[in-house]
């Protein structure tokens, strides 16, 4: 068997915990376990939705191109007073570069839809990212994407 690289055109669709379409149990512990399982597997069948409700789905690239990857890596560390510092802003930048679309539920009124816009560098708009960060969605998107990309190497080990 030969080494196979992941496709640069493959995407994943992710629902975020803040979505009002999600139906939760009364147990915070159960909800946390369920959410962790969903983020690890990206399996929507684990989730329950309020009657008649559809979630918003965020579409993310599985693999960044070289320029996008360099932007993320450049955000990871910086030098300050001769010492290396880790910068957590790389998480937001990775999601910004990976985000390619947003699928709003059909019945969502136009003025309530989350509109996907790009910046000049091809990443999602900074205003959109600020809004997603404000509702805690960035970490959900980052975690789900990391779990998918981690599965690339796991799949190779199994073969």
Q: What pLDDT is attached to residue 134?
A: 96
**Owning domain of residue 39:** 11-150
pTM of the model: 0.87
Closest CA to 6 of 45, 54, 63: 63
Check the CA dihedral 109-112-114-116 and report its sign.
positive
Q: What pLDDT is attached to residue 42?
A: 94
Is 41 contained in some domain? yes
Q: Is the pLDDT of residue 155 over 60?
A: no
Beta strand ranges found along 25-145 (DSSP E): 57-61, 77-80, 83-86, 99-103
Q: How many domains does the chain have?
A: 1
Is 68 contained in some domain? yes
**Torsion angle of the four alpha carbons 110, 112, 114, 116, in this order, in degrees rounded to the nearest 10:** 30
Q: What pLDDT is attached to residue 139?
A: 97
Q: Is the pLDDT of residue 153 over 70?
A: no
Q: Is the pLDDT of residue 79 over 70?
A: yes
Is 155 contained in some domain? no
Is 96 contained in some domain? yes
Q: Is the pLDDT of residue 150 over 90?
A: no
Distance CA 75, CA 89 (A): 6
* Tokens found for residue 136: 């805690």
Is 24 contained in some domain? yes
More confident residue, 47 or 156: 47
Q: Decide: 111 and 22 in contact? Cβ < 8 Å.
A: no
Is 81 contained in some domain? yes
Is 141 contained in some domain? yes
Is 116 contained in some domain? yes
Q: Decide: 6 and 156 in contact? Cβ < 8 Å.
A: no
Q: What pLDDT is attached to residue 1?
A: 61
């Amino acid at each position: 068997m030969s080494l196979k690289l992941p496709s640069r055109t493959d995407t994943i669709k992710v629902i975020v915990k803040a979505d009002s379409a999600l139906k939760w149990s009364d147990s915070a512990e159960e909800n946390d376990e369920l959410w962790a399982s969903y983020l690890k597997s990206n399996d929507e069948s684990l989730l329950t939705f309020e009657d008649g409700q559809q979630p918003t789905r965020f579409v993310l690239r599985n693999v960044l191109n070289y320029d996008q990857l360099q932007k993320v890596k450049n955000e990871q560390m910086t030098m300050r007073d001769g010492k290396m510092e880790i910068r957590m802003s790389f998480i937001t930048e990775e999601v910004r570069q990976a985000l390619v679309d947003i699928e709003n539920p059909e019945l969502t009124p136009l003025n309530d839809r989350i509109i996907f816009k790009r910046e000049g560098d091809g990443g999602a708009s900074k205003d959109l990212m600020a809004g997603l960060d404000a509702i805690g969605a960035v970490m959900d998107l980052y975690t789900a994407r990391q779990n998918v990309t981690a599965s690339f190497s796991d799949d190779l080990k199994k073969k």
